[in-house]
Amino acid sequence: MNFIEIKSPRELEEAFVILKELVPELNKDSFLESLNHELLKNHKLFGFKSSGKIVSLAAVWLLMTGTLDKIMWIYAFVVTKSMRDKGFGKKLLVELEKYAMREEFTELRVHAHREWAIDFWEDKAEFDRFSHVLQKKIT
């Protein structure tokens, strides 16, 4: 078992299959094409492998605020269905925290809108609620 940054074409293909479990409407060609977009230069995909296969992944945005705080935003986090409830989510989160500490990030944040996901982040991952996110669609 090991923690990886997902970069190779084969790993990206494998990651897409797992990410599609979280976002069923995700299109493979659009996903792979978007990875080269300028707006994604501070985004990374991390995964946890078991028996040579990626079993969990996190999509993160690495950002520095105007006050120089370094924040890792987790905007997608999923464990493949067959490997859930086996500790792979926790293992991935532990490795993300280690990475964030090595890179001198000041905090981890997660965007979650499903109630069961919010419960996971608060209860299992020990994250604290601290704000609300508001949005306005631009049409």
Q: What residue ranges do the domains of the chain occupy?
A: 2-124
Confidence of residue 39 (pLDDT cuts 50, 70, 90): confident
CB 70 within 8 A of CB 108: no
Residue 37 is predicted with a pLDDT of 81
Helices (H), the chain: 9-22, 28-34, 88-102, 115-119
pLDDT of residue 67: 86
Q: Quick one: pLDDT at residue 14?
A: 94
In whole angstroms, how large is the CA radius of gyration of the chain?
A: 15
Confidence of residue 40 (pLDDT cuts 50, 70, 90): confident
- The highest-level CATH class for domain 2-124 is alpha beta
pTM given for the model: 0.87
Identify the pLDDT of residue 59: 94
Top-confidence residue, 38 or 126? 126
- What mean pLDDT comes out for the span 36-59? 91
More confident site: 46 or 136? 46
105 Rama class: left (phi>0) / alpha (psi -120 to 50) / beta: beta
Position 31 pLDDT exceeds 80: yes
Mean pLDDT, residues 53-69 taken together: 93
